[in-house]
Each structure stands twice: as C-alpha cells, then as structure tokens.
C-alpha cells in the first residue's frame, strides 16, 4: 500500500509514542509530537483506520495494527540507514543528519534500501546508537544503562544517546564525548544527581543529572 508522507509521519509518531509509553497513543500526544492540532489528528486517525493500519476507537487512543507496525518499522529502518550514510559516507556530523533523514526516509524503493544497507555494510546501529531494524523489522537488542543509573566506580562505553536534539549533541561535541567514549563514574552527588566522570581515562568532567539520563552506557 502506498502511503502519503503525512500518513507515514503519523504512523511513525504513533509507533514512537506507544513504544515509549508502552501503551496506546492519545490524540493529544500525537498532535504534540507532530506539532499539529488535535482536530487534524482525529481526521487522520479516521483515514488510517479505514486503511486498516491502526486500531482506533473514538476517545480511546490508538494502537498500530500489524500492517501499521510494519510500515512504521520500515520507516525507522530507512531513516536510520540514511543517517548512517550521511555520517559515514558524506561526513556529516551526528547533530546535522536528523532533518535530512526525515526527508530521505520517504523515498519509495525497496531495492534502494536493500542496496544502501549493503553499501553501508549492514549496520546494526545508527550514528546516535539507535538500533536499525533489519528488512524483517527485527531490532538488535543491546543491554544499556543510562549513566544516571550507574554508581561510583562503574564504567562502560557510551553506546547511545536518548536526546537527539542538535543542542544536546553539540554540547557532547564540545565535551569531546562521542559513541565509543569510555566513561567511568568517579562519584555522584545524591543531592542533585550530578556526576563526576572520567572520559577515556584522560579527562575528568562534571555533568548534570539531565545529561547523565541521556547517555546510554554498555557497562563493563
């Protein structure tokens, strides 16, 4: 089934909201996510429901049907593969690729994505450490812990970031923190959750709780 860009964006939004909250997505949540009005969302939900992509009952929120999940997953796959392309091949920095991938993900061609995947050597994670679903929609799972949950003395490698905003990523750039950076917890301040950490056994810095919450570490 051929979907419009708008329809695809709704499916992706519903997928992400349901995934995060692990429940049905509300009209308002979708509207917020897509910066649109609740009324527009209701309209679109009716259309997506007609097309058999979502379970929608008035006032009850929505969940994706299997066809909808498939579409959403393929969009995420495409988005993340394009991000890898932009960073690895075109040498964009990880804070510059989201918007462009947001457009590229709507390009229609199975063959293109197959070949892109091969060209990039079947990457399993994107430049922000998010897993790239394979052609069947399967995500690679990896154990990871927010730095904020780690304790004094623990260490591990930065494998992902939760916040994808340019501002956050640029801040990490300024600290020279990137995927692969080894981080060990020197100590943490119970009062405000801020932490002193060591980077690659070289530099010691202090980070706030909010930053620590957005850094995903593979401990060990």
Partner DNA sequence: TAATATTTTTAGATCAATCTAAATATATAT
Partner DNA sequence: ATATATATTTAGATTGATCTAAAAATATTA
Q: Least distance from C-beta 127 to a second copy, angstroms?
A: 15
Tell me which of 41, 48, 72, 116 binds a second copy, using CB under 8 A.
116
Nearest approach, Cβ of residue 23 and DNA (Å): 11
CB of 119 to a second copy, least distance (A): 6
Tokens 């850094």 identify what position?
Answer: 215
Handedness of CA 48, 69, 30, 2 (dihedral sign): negative
**From 57-65, 138-146, 189-197, 207-215, span contacting DNA (CB under 7 A):** 57-65
What is the footprint of DNA within residues 114-143 (CB under 7 A)?
A: none
Please identify which residue in 20, 21, 23, 43 interacts with DNA, judged by CB under 7 A.
43
Cβ-proximal residues to 46 (8 Å cutoff; 6+ apart), any chain: 56
Nearer to a second copy, 99 or 136 (CB): 99
Task: Please give the C-alpha separations between residue 200 and each of 149, 177, 218, in angstroms, as whole numbers.
Answer: 19, 9, 14
Q: Are 143 and 152 in contact (CB under 8 A)?
A: no
**Phi and psi dihedrals of 159, rounded to 5?**
-115, -5
Window contacting a second copy (CB under 8 A); options: 42-50, 55-63, 97-105, 196-204: 97-105
Q: What is the enclosing helix (H) or strand (E) of 73?
A: helix 66-84
**Minimum distance between the CB of residue 12 and DNA, rounded to whole angstroms?**
13
Rounded CA separation 206/99 (Å): 30
| Strand, helix or coil for residue 52 | coil
210 binds a second copy per the rule CB under 8 A: no
Q: Which of 21, 39, 90, 135 binds DNA (CB under 7 A)?
A: 39
Interaction site with a second copy (CB under 8 A): 86, 89-92, 96, 99-100, 103-104, 107-109, 111-112, 115-116, 119
């Amino acid at each position: 089934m051929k979907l419009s860009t708008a329809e695809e964006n709704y499916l992706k939004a519903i997928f992400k909201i349901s995934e995060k909250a692990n429940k049905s997505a509300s009209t308002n949540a979708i509207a917020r996510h897509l910066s649109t009005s609740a009324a527009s969302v209701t309209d679109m939900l009716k259309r997506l429901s007609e097309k058999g992509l979502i379970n929608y009952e008035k006032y009850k929120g929505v969940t994706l049907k299997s066809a909808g999940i498939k579409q959403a997953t393929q969009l995420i796959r495409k988005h993340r593969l394009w991000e890898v392309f932009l960073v690895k091949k075109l040498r964009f920095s990880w804070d510059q690729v989201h918007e462009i991938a947001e457009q590229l993900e709507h390009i229609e061609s199975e063959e293109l994505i197959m070949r892109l995947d091969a060209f990039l050597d079947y990457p399993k994670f994107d430049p922000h450490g998010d897993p790239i679903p394979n052609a069947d929609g399967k995500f690679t799972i990896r154990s990871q812990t927010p730095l904020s949950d780690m304790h004094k003395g623990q260490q591990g490698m930065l494998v992902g970031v939760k916040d994808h905003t340019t501002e956050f990523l640029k801040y990490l750039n300024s600290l020279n923190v990137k995927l692969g950076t080894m981080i060990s917890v020197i100590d943490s301040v119970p009062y405000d959750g801020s932490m002193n950490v060591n980077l690659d056994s070289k530099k010691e810095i202090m980070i706030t709780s909010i930053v620590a919450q957005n850094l995903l570490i593979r401990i060990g």
